[in-house]
Each structure stands twice: as structure tokens, then as C-alpha cells.
């Protein structure tokens, strides 16, 4: 049986069919049912996956609407264990491969290591912002102190948490880049091949959901307190109290859905989080608060003056990264749309560099 010419699914396939009909050829006899099945599946793939993301957003918004951290503590521990084990599986998996899963499977390949690189400003500042994202959630620590039984233990909790987080990030990322180099996937859970990728996402799905819930909850709580700051409804279980809370969690979730779908490349979302969240909130703001509490150090001894100068410098670094990195990420997104890396907003094309 003769088959129709192999063309891309969409306009080309339809035009081929119309051409055969004009020639008096029975198209239904020339094309396999499998061809039409693939065409139908490709045609509806975007809508299906977008709706799947939307349903996940609704679930996250519902779980994030729990008002107190203490009610979410068990979820946080479950999410941490899930994400940690998922990443550990991938880190171990990449060390068992002869070559990265995304690299050419035959012949020579280059991991792309350079002692001193020469990126453009846009590429370099975006990469720096992506690294900053590892600590972009430090501002989330502040609401925790309001619910602690012993607020004086807050510094110990912060030091312990940041020690574990920073150590884990360094260990896992160094191993991943040592074995994958430029062939690392984004998200990195796909770096060890299709089997490990499925296992890692299966284990880590809880951590991903819980992380989303925590981010929405924390952002919503900041806005909620700001909106009802001078209102008695901040503490009352009134209709206004609950209506405001649910509206904010729904709004934050909706904005997250639009941003995540409009920027379907994970690296750029990370870089944007680093430039808009970490740079101003974890570099500039703490330095400014320190300067506010230590004004007299500016005219103190050498050590005090050096410390004061360092914190003033951090404010400038944070401001530069906020403006410069945000510009860099936006330019990278514009370039990605222009060169076809991103087909369109709400696109479901696979650009993760994983199998």
C-alpha cells in the first residue's frame, strides 16, 4: 500500500490531502489510521497540557489558603523529603552514565567547561541571577518568627536551615555539572535519562506541589497583612477577612500560572526569581537595615568603617542585579521568542534539554 508523503502535522498534511483529492486519489486508502491519530493527538496536546497546569494551579491555591504555618508543617517536611530524595536520585544517576543523556551518544562530545568564559552581558547577568535563585526564598523566613513558640530560637533555625540548603546546593550542583556540563537539563531532574527522569518526577511531585503551596501562602500573607494592616478584620473571622484572604491566594496563584505559562523555559523563570526576589530582598534590604541600625559605624575605627562600607556596597550590588538581571532575563525571553526557542505563550513544546 502506498503511503502519503511524510510532512509535518498541520497545514502541510492537510494540503497534501487536498492535493491527492484533486488528483482523484482516495486519501483514506493512502494514509494509515495511525497518521490521523498522531495528527489528532498533536492538535490537542497544547490544550490538554495547559488545562493540566490549570488544574494543578487550582489545587495549589486551595492548599495554600490554609492560614497558619503550623497547619502546613507536616506538608513542609513531606515536601522537603520528597524533593531532596528526587534530586539525590538524579545526582546518583548521572554518575552512573558513560556520557550525559542529552549529549551525542556516539563520537566525541564536549562538556563545555571553561576556566574563564566570555559571555555577553545579557547571558552573563542572566546566569548570575539563576545562581541567586538558590537563596531567593530567604525573605520567606520572616513570617515564621511570628508563629514560633520561642521567637528567640529564630536565629538558630535560620543558621541551621541555610547551612543545610547551601551545603546541599553546592554538593548537588557541583556533581551535576561535573558529569553533565553544558548538557544538563532544565529542570535538572531530566539529566540522567528517561527512566531516572520518570522516577525522579514520581518521587518529587509532592515536593514540587508543596513548594508551590508555600510560595503562594507566603506571598499571599505579606499582601494580606498589608491590605488589612489598619483594619479590625485582620484578626477577626469576618466575611471581609476570609474574602480578602481567599481573593489574594487566588490572585497570586493566577499570576503564577500566567508567568509560568508565558515563560515556558525554566531557566528564565529561575533567573527572574533571582533578579526580582533575591537581589532586592536578600542583598539590598538586609544591608540597608544593617546601616540603619549601625549609623555610627561610618565614623568608627577601620574595622567598623570597612563593615559599613561593605554593607553600603551590597545595596549597590543588589540594585544593579535587580535592574541589570531583570533587563537581561527580559532580553533573553525576547530573543527566545524571536529565534523560535519559544513558539508561543502557553506552549507545551519540550525545551528542557532532556530525553
Q: What is the pLDDT of residue 30?
A: 43
Q: What is the pLDDT of residue 9?
A: 36
Quote the pTM value.
0.72
Q: What is the pLDDT of residue 7?
A: 38
**Residues in contact with 234: Cβ distance below 8 Å, sequence separation at least 6, in sequence order:** 225, 228, 241
Cis peptide before 229 (omega within 30 of 0): no
Give the residue carrying C-alpha cell 502535522. Answer: 9
In angstroms, the first-to-last Cα distance of the chain is 33
The whole-angstrom distance between residue 322's C-alpha and the CA centroid of its chain comes to 17
DSSP 8-class letter at 301 = -
Residues of the chain predicted below pLDDT 70: 1-49, 136, 343-355
Long-range contacts of 113-119 (CB under 8 A, 24+ apart): 113/181
**Contact yes or no for 231/239 (Cβ under 8 A):** no
CA dihedral 290, 296, 302, 308 (to 10 degrees): 20
**Residues in contact with 158: Cβ distance below 8 Å, sequence separation at least 6, in sequence order:** 141
Distances (CA, A) of 245 to 140, 210, 225: 18, 19, 9
Using the Cα atoms of residue 13, residue 14, residue 15 and residue 19 in order, give the sign of their dihedral. Answer: positive
DSSP 8-class letter at 4 = P
Amino acid at each position: 500500500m502506498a503511503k502519503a508523503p511524510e510532512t509535518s502535522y498541520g497545514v502541510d498534511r492537510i494540503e497534501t490531502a487536498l492535493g491527492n483529492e484533486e488528483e482523484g486519489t482516495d486519501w483514506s486508502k493512502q494514509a494509515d489510521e495511525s497518521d490521523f491519530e498522531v495528527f489528532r493527538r498533536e492538535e490537542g496536546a497544547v490544550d490538554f497540557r495547559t488545562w493540566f497546569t490549570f488544574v494543578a494551579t487550582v489545587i495549589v491555591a486551595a492548599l495554600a489558603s490554609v492560614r497558619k504555618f503550623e497547619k502546613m508543617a507536616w506538608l513542609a517536611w513531606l515536601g522537603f523529603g520528597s524533593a531532596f530524595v528526587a534530586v539525590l536520585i538524579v545526582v546518583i544517576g548521572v554518575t552512573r552514565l558513560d556520557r550525559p543523556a542529552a549529549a551525542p551518544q556516539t563520537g566525541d562530545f564536549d562538556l563545555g567547561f571553561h576556566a574563564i568564559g566570555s559571555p555577553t552581558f545579557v547571558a552573563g547577568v542572566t546566569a548570575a541571577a539563576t545562581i541567586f535563585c538558590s537563596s531567593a526564598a530567604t525573605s520567606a523566613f520572616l513570617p515564621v518568627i511570628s508563629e514560633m513558640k520561642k521567637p528567640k530560637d529564630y536565629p538558630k533555625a535560620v543558621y541551621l536551615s541555610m547551612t543545610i540548603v547551601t551545603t546541599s546546593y553546592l554538593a548537588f550542583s557541583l556533581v551535576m555539572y561535573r558529569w553533565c556540563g553544558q548538557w544538563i537539563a532544565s529542570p535538572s531532574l531530566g539529566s540522567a535519562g528517561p527512566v531516572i527522569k520518570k522516577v525522579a518526577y514520581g518521587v518529587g511531585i509532592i515536593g514540587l506541589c508543596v513548594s508551590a503551596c508555600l510560595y503562594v501562602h507566603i506571598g499571599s500573607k505579606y499582601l494580606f497583612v498589608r491590605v488589612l494592616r489598619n483594619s479590625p478584620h485582620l484578626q477577626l473571622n469576618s466575611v471581609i477577612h476570609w474574602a480578602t484572604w481567599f481573593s489574594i491566594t487566588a490572585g497570586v496563584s493566577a499570576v503564577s500560572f500566567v508567568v509560568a505559562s508565558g515563560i515556558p523555559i525554566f531557566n528564565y523563570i529561575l533567573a527572574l526569581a533571582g533578579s526580582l526576589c533575591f537581589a532586592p530582598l536578600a542583598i539590598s534590604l538586609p544591608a540597608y537595615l544593617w546601616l540603619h541600625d549601625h549609623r555610627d559605624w561610618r565614623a568608627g575605627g577601620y574595622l567598623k568603617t570597612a563593615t559599613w562600607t561593605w554593607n553600603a556596597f551590597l545595596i549597590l550590588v543588589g540594585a544593579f542585579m535587580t535592574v541589570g538581571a531583570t533587563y537581561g532575563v527580559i532580553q533573553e525571553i525576547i530573543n527566545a521568542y524571536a529565534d523560535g526557542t519559544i513558539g508561543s505563550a502557553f506552549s507545551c513544546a519540550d525545551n528542557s534539554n532532556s530525553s
